[in-house]
Amino acid sequence: MRLALFQPAIPQNVGAAVRLTACLDVALDIILPCAFAFDDEAMKRAALDYGPLAHVTRHGSWADFTAAAEIVGRRLILFTTKGDRRFPQFDFHQSDILVFGSESHGAPPHVHAAAAARLRIPIIAEARSLNLVTTAALALGEALRQTDGYPVDTRSTAA
């Protein structure tokens, strides 16, 4: 399972996504350009002390992302407010890549066209959308639950 952020606009969301994916042992793909500088130094700041646990790949463009060896042949599952299916009813595969559009612009038509499925998180009609990483956490949680993909928790439960 992988999580991909298409042209993210908010550095704090990238930092939260790094932490989320590091803790769940899921690879994170950042598809450039970002709306902020995302060089090696910014990456280290975003990762905080989760950097050694994170598996982050930066792709220079959508074309670079879709051509990458670790992406080719895998299903791209787009999460969008325009999704035609509710995510809890979708059957996830361990090899899926969960794709999320930019916070401010969503995903453009060519990203929608490349997706094997376009899913939405059900929310009340009066709300516009959830935060990007909140959505990613919900989606990733369901996908990992369905595929038995959560990491083994070896921490002791003794008090």
Q: Read out DSSP for 50-64?
A: GGGG--EEEESSHHH
Sequence ranges of the domains in the chain: 2-147
pLDDT classification of 155: cutoffs 50, 70, 90: confident
Write the pLDDT tens digit of every residue in 118-132.
999 999 999 988 999
Could you write out the DSSP letters of every residue in 69-135?
A: TTTTTSPEEEE-TT-SEEGGGS---TT-EEEE-BTTTB--HHHHHH-SEEEE----TT-----HHHH
Domain 2-147: which CATH number of 3.40.50.800, 1.10.357.10, 3.40.1280.10, 3.40.50.2000:
3.40.1280.10
Residue 18 has pLDDT above 70, yes or no: yes
What is residue 62's predicted lDDT score, i.e. its pLDDT? 98
Other CB atoms within 10 A of residue 138 CB = 15
Sequence-distant (6+) residues with CB within 8 A of 18 are: 28, 46, 47, 48, 50, 51, 54, 56
Residue 41 has pLDDT above 80, yes or no: no
pLDDT classification of 35: cutoffs 50, 70, 90: confident
Residue 54 has pLDDT above 70, yes or no: yes
Residue-averaged pLDDT of the chain: 92
Residue 96 has pLDDT above 80, yes or no: yes
Residue 85 has pLDDT above 70, yes or no: yes
Q: In this structure, what is the dihedral angle of CA atoms 137, 94, 150, 5, given to the nearest 10 degrees?
A: -30
**Region 33-47 average pLDDT:** 73
What is residue 158's predicted lDDT score, i.e. its pLDDT? 64
**Region 113-119 average pLDDT:** 98
Which burial class, exposed, middle or buried, applies to 49 when counting CB atoms under 10 A from its CB (0-12, 13-18, 19+)? exposed
Residue 32: phi, psi to the nearest 5?
-80, 160
**Region 31-44 average pLDDT:** 78
pLDDT classification of 44: cutoffs 50, 70, 90: low
